[in-house]
Amino acid sequence: MDKISIPWLTICVCTCTISGVGTNNIALGKPATQSSVTLNGTPDRAVDGNRDSTFWRKSCIHTLHGETDQWWSVDLLSTYRINTVRIQNRGDEDGFKFHDFEVEVYKQSPGHCPGANKTTCASHPGAANLGENVQLTCAEGTIGRYVKLLKLPQFISSPEDALIICEVEIEGFLVHPCLKERQFHKHAGNKMQSPNPTNTGLTRAECSRRCYYDNGCYGINIRVTDDECQLITEFDSNTLADDSGWNYYRLC
């Protein structure tokens, strides 16, 4: 049974079980992000179920050329034991640009939680073949919610280099609550910018519980003077604004 303790916005969960039923593609349709976008190569294209390897058929992602930090990431919305990651390389003229890459797995959001610990699933030295469907088998015991694919920066030398892939498929087993500890980190006098509605009449403990049980919640804004809070679930800007009337709590 889960046991939750909230002395001051600290949540501990004590149970961990692994489902005996695997899933075919746990990445399909899940929220995805990437380091940058060009030529309309948006991150959702890699989890749309379309393996078409021709970029101009609008089936592949594309980051900016020449970046030293080129990556793509998906939020699986639950914690899984990751077994296999399959990546569809571009099959037309620029497929050679997919080279020297690594797959990392995180239990916490690497974009939202500084210092989030990673597990390296697997790495691929050298270039993938044009149109190749690269299959990587994760190291034993690879567990997490966020899967990140990145090109190793030490091998990015050309100003024309970019991350271009056409589909990512992930297989694994669902892990039921296995978050040993999650803590809200306070940003006093700040408010995270969000279009989400505020909730009135909620205590700080009630608001923190709502955030914990919402897989898409990354933090909460709490008004200093009364019981009003806002759950943060969208990170289009990830912008903290100075506001002495609010405190922001980042969940990691």
| Whether the predicted model's global pTM rises above the 0.85 cut | no
What digits encode the pLDDT tens for the residues 91-119? 998 889 999 999 999 998 888 887 889 99
How far is it, in rounded angstroms, from Cα 235 to Cα 221?
14
Q: For residue 184, is pLDDT > 90?
A: no
pLDDT band with cut points at 50, 70 and 90 for residue 179: very low
Residue in 123, 51, 39, 43 with CA at minimum distance from that of residue 91: 51
pLDDT at 142: 95
| Cβ neighbours of 100 (radius 10 Å) | 17
Cβ–Cβ < 8 Å for 74, 27? yes
Q: For residue 178, is pLDDT > 50?
A: no
Only one residue has tokens 């640009």, namely: 97
Q: For residue 163, is pLDDT > 60?
A: yes
Cβ burial of 188 (10 Å; 0-12, 13-18, 19+) is exposed
Q: Which residue has the higher pLDDT, 216 or 181?
A: 216
For 233, residues 6+ apart whose C-beta sits below 8 A from its C-beta are 194, 196, 214, 216, 217, 218
Distances (CA, A) of 244 to 147, 188, 191, 223, 232: 36, 8, 9, 9, 18
Cβ–Cβ < 8 Å for 111, 73? yes
12-21, 209-218, 219-228, 238-247: the lowest-pLDDT one: 12-21
